[in-house]
Amino acid sequence: MTATKTPQPLLRVENLAVSFDGPAGRVQAVNGVNLSVYPGQTLCVVGESGCGKSVSALSALQLVPTPPGRYDSGKIWCIAKRGLTPLIYSPLIYFH
């Protein structure tokens, strides 16, 4: 009998919180975002205008400008690749 290996997600985000500093003080853009994307999956993020869709996606790609953005908490992991071979499932960023 052959054991089936459970695939690891290509991207995993846990408890992501991002805020922005502005003239009126700090504004919480996202708080408590969790998601996983597995091989062969397509992720669609839907929501009202201003609910944090873009900030969540930009955060996962580490594209939120700091400052004024601030990663308050969360963990982001991705599959690291060299060529076509996945390496280790490594932490991309940790925020405390």
Q: What is the mean pLDDT of each run of 10 residues along the chain (96 residues)?
A: 73 90 93 91 91 90 87 82 46 48
For residue 85, being part of any structural domain is answered with yes
Angle at 20 (CA atoms; ends 9, 74), nearest 5 degrees: 30
For residue 6, being part of any structural domain is answered with no
Can you give the pLDDT at residue 82? 52
Owner of token pair 């939120």: 64
List the one residue out of 18, 10, 82 whose CA is nearest residue 41.
Answer: 10
For residue 82, being part of any structural domain is answered with yes
Number of domains in the chain: 1
For residue 2, being part of any structural domain is answered with no
Can you give the pLDDT at residue 93? 52
For residue 4, being part of any structural domain is answered with no
For residue 1, being part of any structural domain is answered with no
pTM exceeds 0.85 for this model: no
> Which domain range does residue 33 map to?
11-95
